[in-house]
Amino acid sequence: MRNYGDFLFTSESVSEGHPDKVADRISDTVLDTFLSADPEARVACETMCTTNRVVLAGEVRGPASVTSDMLVERARDAIRDIGYDQEGFSWKTADITSFLHAQSVDIAKGVDSEGNKDEGAGDQGIMFGFATRETERLMPAPLFYAQSILEKIRDYRKNGDARGDGLLPDAKSQVTLRYVEGKPVAATSVVISTQHVEGMRQNTIREMLRTVVREVLPEGWMCKEEEFYVNPTGNFVIGGPDGDAGLTGRKIIVDTYGGAAPHGGGAFSGKDPTKVDRSAAYAARYLAKNVVAADLADRCTIQLSYAIGVSKPLSVYVDLDGTGKDVDEARLGDVLYQMVNLSPRGIREHLRLNRPIYAPTSAYGHFGRIPDPALDNFTWEQTDLVDDLRRAFNR
């Protein structure tokens, strides 16, 4: 989104009840179950869900105490927490089958540390991190507001608030913002589609959601009435996996920066932190956020690259998008490389990733989240490098 003139930019988000997010949640629940039993467990879990059926597949290496029956029950608990107890998809009656099997010995050999060899990356790939001063959480504004709308709807639905009466778990949002001189100033359109009980009037839903949007957007940002779209196709009663099959890892732009920054292509959910698709993307966000929080730039994109079985990153690239404040990008990349150990093990230890902290990441984005002190999660959102970065550049 390298544009400092006047333009429109759109991002979307989906709720925890979207079928792909149901799959992500179950995959991350499987991961958390293994990490609870063994912090060094290896997990690559894929989930498919459809009408009253869930299938788990993938590779794992962990203690025998984590059984297929246990994983099935944990998946059922996840579905219940999301809120699905419908005829076509219910936590009580869904047929849940696990086809998880042992991790490939060839992959294990490349990843594991032995002798003088440090732990290698679990796969090759490129990962990006991004931060921008558009919002207090240093996230792109269109995605931030699209996610915030769905989070508030979820809270009303689960807390018994009248503003959530009759709404069901599956929902999507889309927010288009107008930028003037590169800064967001107002919404030009808002789209929300939400599952609801049979017989609910669309005008009633529209009024409920208008209140939600006005609570989320800054004052004066609400779009024109004719650009406020609620359930544009009409009824949305059949939803979730009963309406559309869900798969792990199909919402990678929703999970990251809403299209405002590059994406390396790898999904996150269901992967343990030896997989740099996940851990290095977290590390890149951590570094980019600290750069912006240190006021070295207003925008920062960081790319990391890895090869399977190799511990050190092959490259560290920094792009301040023309917003750097007397900062040399090449030197900044060197400083960041020296400041944080970017090997897979170094990232895991620095951000404390070998813990069961992943189920909350599976919906409403992996970045820009507020950590839960009780869980000590979203550690990649901390800004503890700010002072060191300022000193490195004499600020």
304 shares a domain with 289: yes
Q: Is 185 a domain residue? A: yes
Q: Output the pLDDT for position 310.
A: 86
Q: What is the pTM of this model?
A: 0.94
Query: Measuring CA to CA, which residue among 268, 277, 286 is closest to residue 352?
Result: 286
pLDDT of residue 110: 56
Domain range for 280 is: 125-133+252-392
- Specify if 247 maps to a domain: no
- Convert the pLDDT of each residue in 36-52 to its tens digit: 999 999 999 999 999 99
Select which of 112, 244, 295, 329 is catalytic. Answer: 244
Residues 66 and 87 in one domain: yes
Give the pLDDT confidence score for residue 127 in this predicted structure.
97
**pLDDT reading at 1 higher than 70:** no
Taking 60 as the threshold, does the pLDDT of residue 226 lie above it? yes
Examine the domain organization and report whether 347 and 298 are in the same domain. yes
- Same domain for 202 and 99, yes or no, is no
Domain identity same for 129 and 269: yes
What residues form the annotated binding site?
18, 20, 46, 59, 103, 170-172, 244, 250-251, 267, 271, 275
> Domain total for the chain?
3
Is 224 a catalytic site residue? no
Q: What are 169's two structure tokens? A: 């778990």
The amino acid that residue 167 corresponds to is L
Reply yes or no on whether 312 is catalytic.
no
Residue numbers in the known binding site for K(+) are: 46
- 281 and 383 inside one domain: yes
- The verdict on residue 2 lying in a domain is no
Task: Examine the domain organization and report whether 264 and 342 are in the same domain.
Answer: yes
Instruction: Encode pLDDT of 68-90 as tens digits.
Output: 999 999 999 999 999 999 999 99
Q: What is the pLDDT of residue 111?
A: 61
Tens-place pLDDT, residues 290-329: 999 999 999 999 999 999 888 899 999 999 999 999 999 9
Q: Which helix (H) or strand (E) holds 343?
A: none
Q: Catalytic site residue 245?
A: yes
Query: Is the confidence at residue 117, as pLDDT, over 80?
Result: no
DSSP structural state of residue 221? -
pLDDT in tens, 10-31: 999 999 999 999 999 999 999 9
d(CA 19, CA 276): 25
DSSP labels for 355-374?
SS--GGGGSS-SSSPPP-TT
Residue of 76, 271, 348, 366 marked catalytic: 271
Q: Is residue 1 part of a domain?
A: no
pLDDT of 107 reads 57
Q: What is the CATH number of the domain that holds 218?
A: 3.30.300.10
Annotated catalytic residue within 9, 16, 18, 319: 18
- Work out the average pLDDT over 163-181: 96
- 265 and 129: one domain? yes
Which of the following is catalytic: 9, 16, 21, 44?
21
DSSP β-bridge partners for residue 304: 127, 316
